[in-house]
Amino acid sequence: MTNTAGKNAYDKPVKISFILPVQNGLSLLQNNLCNIYPCAFEMVVVLGPTQACSNLAPPGGTSLDGSEEIRSFPDPDNKLRIITGRWEFEADKLNAALSYVSGDYVWIIRAAEMYRNEDLKKIQFLLTQHPTISEVHFTRHLFSKVMDLEIVSRRLTEPRNVYRRIFRRRQGLCFERNMTLTAADLLNGSAEPPLILEADQTAGMGLRLYDYTFLSPLITAERLMQDTLIRADAAEMDAGQWYEQVYQRWLPGTRAELEQIAPVWLGDPKARSQPYLGPHPEVMVEYARTFDLSGRPYRPPYTMQNILDAAGTIRDRFPSERIEVLETGTIRCYHEGGQSTRRLSDFLGSRGHITTIDLSFYSIRVSKEMCRYASNVTWIYSDSLTALDTMLREGRRFHMAFLDSVNQKQILFEEFRRVIPMMIRDSVVIIDDAGITPDGRGIRTDVPAQKGHLVWAFLRACQAEFHLPGSGTQLAIPMHQDNFYRITEALASISKAVSQVQQLPFG
């Protein structure tokens, strides 16, 4: 590709006019505008339903989720324009916006389509260096209802699933009434062949679109009705059946069962979800920090509040000390409900420090992204027992321990054994997913996570005090003097018995 830019290309980047056709999806739209604002010359939000999606808007209104609130989006540089109305086709929405834009290029972005910051800059630089480019096409990362699972299908790279998103603006530019966003340059016609940056070329540069449509039930419904995301001819059920029987029931815990009987994406009957280990646009990490799986503002579950209450008690008990917290098992995925590392970090602030251990590099990376503003967290990439043995040798001491690593009773008990000698007197140890009945007398059989059974049995045997703040899902052990004595004596007896057994002449 020949460089046809002038010598001042670095100083004068091309002007990009973003057009965002929107009906619902306020939370994603707000994040999207934040994402593109720095490189936008102007942004035109076209708000309102098409004929196919009119039932997803109130009579005389534009959206069901209050997307009209985008009018209050901070716009210090006066880049944002909002057009409202009703249109027959989505192409009509785009063409309505064209009369308001004046940039060098038009970039179409739907509410749930995101790009990484560095990719936005690369694309703007590329267009500046090569201003004869007429179109830019993208393949996409298509995510399921959670950011940790990507939909895989060979058909995503087929022409009808390649997204045409950037068009050089010229007089007469308009969008045809088809859902592939084909641009017709009426001024040039066929006299000048277009210079298209194809999807395989952008993918080769590492430039991809990140499609989070499935995170929003309303946006998913819109795209089904417009037949722009999912093709019903690829499966034995129509779009409405798929939405009710698959999409609404789909969760990380049910995906294996559902994907045995129906595709996760109707564009391919063989489409399946798999863990996504790559990076996300920075703005989507912030989205995961702010909203839950249903797109509502995030609220920590009551079990997390129990942990914060315990941390508050410890903080008040040691008013002149920095609270040292040990955690085994950090934030494992973007949709995790508790987000314990982040919540403890935010809650304690400068009064505390969290040491969190995890064997998964991916979990540590997610945790660091979710705790991006934290300066009081240390991450250790290791299995918990090796890390705890090292801390024991170093003489580490903790005011609070939160044990939440693998769902294995024996591992949790071994963590417990190693943690106790490091606990400061009047501290607290909490075990998550304990699997104990609320009365503390038995084992719950109605929950999958039951990793606290051995610790619970041990505490009962040595008559140590414990509490069940999470109706049996959590086990809290106060380390006052009597409890500390009972537990350490019992653990010493176990260690002695194990040592004697190991010395027996077996065989």
pLDDT tens, the chain, 507 aa long: 655 544 444 568 999 999 999 998 888 999 999 999 999 999 999 999 988 888 888 887 788 888 888 999 999 999 999 999 999 988 899 999 999 999 999 999 999 999 999 999 999 999 999 999 999 999 999 999 999 999 999 999 888 888 999 999 988 788 877 645 533 333 334 445 678 999 999 999 999 999 999 999 989 998 888 764 444 444 567 888 889 989 999 988 889 899 988 889 888 889 999 999 999 999 999 999 888 877 777 887 888 888 999 999 999 999 999 999 999 999 999 988 889 999 999 999 999 999 999 999 999 999 999 999 999 999 999 999 999 999 999 999 999 999 998 888 899 999 999 999 999 999 999 998 888 888 888 887 777 777 888 999 999 999 999 998 866 688 999 999 999 999 999 999 887 655 554 555 544
DSSP 203-231: HHTT--EEE-GGG-HHHHHHHHHHTSS--
Which residue ranges make up each domain of the chain? 16-275, 300-502
Per DSSP, the three-state class of 78 is: coil
Burial zone of 463 (CB within 10 Å; 0-12 exposed, 13-18 middle, 19+ buried): exposed
The pLDDT tens digits for 96-146 are 999 999 999 999 999 999 999 999 999 999 999 999 999 999 999 999 999
Helix boundaries (H) for 37-104: 90-98
pLDDT given at position 201:
95
- How many Cα atoms within 13 Å fall on the side-chain side of residue 43? 28
pLDDT given at position 1:
60
Q: Which CATH architecture has domain 16-275?
A: Alpha-Beta Complex (3.90)
The pLDDT tens digits for 454-478 are 999 999 999 999 998 866 688 999 9
Token readout for 98 is 């064209």
pLDDT given at position 161:
84
Residue among 71, 79, 75 nearest 22 (CA): 71
pLDDT given at position 447:
75
Give the chain's count of helices (H) and strands (E). Answer: 15, 20
pTM (two decimals): 0.84
Residues 6+ apart with CB under 8 A from 377: 341, 345, 353, 354, 355, 356, 371
Kind and range of the H or E element at 353? strand 352-358
Question: What is each CA distance from 317 to 302, 313, 345, 426, in whole angstroms?
Answer: 23, 6, 18, 8
Report yes or no: 276 and 141 within 8 Å, Cβ to Cβ.
yes
Burial zone of 394 (CB within 10 Å; 0-12 exposed, 13-18 middle, 19+ buried): exposed
Superfamily of the domain at 300-502: Vaccinia Virus protein VP39 (3.40.50.150)
In whole angstroms, give the CA distance from residue 420 to residue 76. 55
